[in-house]
Structure 1
Amino acid sequence: MTTTLIADTKPGRGRPRAFDPEAALDVGQRLFHAAGYDGVGLSALTVALGIKPPSFYMAFGSKAAFFERVLERYARTEIALADVLQAGRPPAEALADLLERAARTYARDPERPGCLVLEAARGNGESESAVMARRTAEGRRAQVRVFVAATHPEVADVVTDFISTVMSGMSASAREGMGESRLLGVSRVAAESVGILLR
């Protein structure tokens, strides 16, 4: 189904129309999450966006550059770390919140289960899309590490590795059909373990 991404900038006949990049990124995010980078061809992408390939290239440069912006948007809007890892918040509480949000987010939409970033990072070896996703994932891990290190530097690395491994496993499990209640159970057991490490 084609999504309208062009809107009149001003009322009145003959006025220029403006392309909405944020709406385009939202459509792209849903497509890539459902089918993966390689599963979304440029033709399908431009049809879904309601634009022609030349307009797509003018707006985004390439499919890979568009995907990179989609990853950035996903990381900014889905389980936004800035909302969770707030300075002064007890780390055990914040990380339990992070795990619970991940469980709920990964199971929220059965047509787009799991985490777009983590699933893309598992992709085809050194493909451009997988490398970009791994870079995004590592940036998020670094944020967790810095947050934990502020109060518990001696366990920051192991806690970060544990959190990222659990989240990756929950994402894969959601892709395999594990529902929210089971993922929440996993997140809560993991949170108890994190609490022990952060005592």
Structure 2
Amino acid sequence: MSGTTRGRPRAFDRDRALLEAARLFWRYGYSGTSTRALTTALGLSTSSLYAAFGSKAGLFEEAVRTYAERYREIYRRAVAEEDLPTVVERVLVDSVHEFTQPDDVHPGCLLSSAAMTDSTSTLDTSAHYAELHAWNERALRERVERAVREGETDAVDAAALAGLVESVVHGLSVRARLGAGREDLLATARLAHEVICARFPPPAVTPGGGRRPRAARSR
């Protein structure tokens, strides 16, 4: 084997590099992740890392945006569902599946990550996360408002309901980061779905098609 062949660097895989970098950033935050740790994990020289991503900050920004968008996509798919119970179910269940992706394809749970308390010179991570959270909650609130407007369910406080679903999602995120397994989290998500959906059953109707007052709930 020639010396040139022996010294040939491995092919650069950008997706794999982002995954490995995200794992470090998620665990240690931006400031706590050194350039040396990144080059070691990615198998790149410092000059190659800068050539690929511009800077450590550029790598961090691309990692955050790449994986954060997966959470937005959960809500985008969910609010496209035809009925409100399925919307809520998709948010909760799909979030659990995202939180518990296999390690070889996922860096860990972004929502409860150390990266969310850190920042860089090019990306205010807290602001980016706040925007993502606001977008998700707004999409869900608007979907609830549409369900009420179209008579799918009786009147409900859309903002409070969206906030409740978001609170459950964040709780699931924390538990996932602490090591809870997928089946355990799914059981919690399904129970939360059942409890939440009990607050907005389909509106009662009369035989002629008009709505009638619903009987008071037993306490």
Regarding TM over 0.5, the answer is yes
1:106 counterpart letter in structure 2 = F
Greater CA drift, 180-189 or 122-131: 122-131
Greater CA drift, 83-92 or 177-186: 83-92
What are the residue-to-residue correspondences of 1:1-199 with 2, within 5 Å? 4-6=10-12, 20-77=13-70, 80-81=73-74, 84-109=77-102, 115-120=109-114, 123=117, 128-152=124-148, 155-199=157-201
In 2, Cα distance between the equivalents of 1:22 and 1:75? 15
Kindly provide the CA deviation profile for residues 12-60 of structure 1, in whole angstroms up to 9, marking residues without a partner as x.
xxxxxxxx54343233233334444444222211222232333333433
Q: Which has the larger radius of gyration?
A: 2
In 1, Cα distance between the equivalents of 2:162 and 2:34? 35
What are the ranges of 5 or more consecutive residues in structure 2 without an aligned counterpart?
Answer: 1-8, 150-155, 202-219
What are the ranges of 5 or more consecutive residues in structure 1 without an aligned counterpart?
Answer: 7-19
Over the aligned positions, Cα root-mean-square deviation in angstroms equals 3.5
Query: % of aligned pairs identical?
Result: 27
2:77 counterpart letter in structure 1 = V
Q: Post-superposition shift, 1:73?
A: 1.5
For these two proteins, the number of residue pairs brought into alignment is 184
Between Structure 1 and Structure 2, the one with more helix by share is 1
Kindly provide the CA deviation profile for residues 61-83 of structure 1, in whole angstroms up to 9, marking residues without a partner as x.
33333223222221334683266
In 2, Cα distance between the equivalents of 1:125 and 1:59? 21
Report if aligned partners of 2:72, 2:136 keep a CA contact under 8 Å in 1: no
TM-aligned CA distance change 1:53 to 1:158, over 3 Å? same
In 2, Cα distance between the equivalents of 1:117 and 1:107? 12
TM-aligned CA distance change 1:123 to 1:5, over 3 Å? farther
In 1, Cα distance between the equivalents of 2:44 and 2:115? 28
TM-aligned CA distance change 1:140 to 1:65, over 3 Å? farther
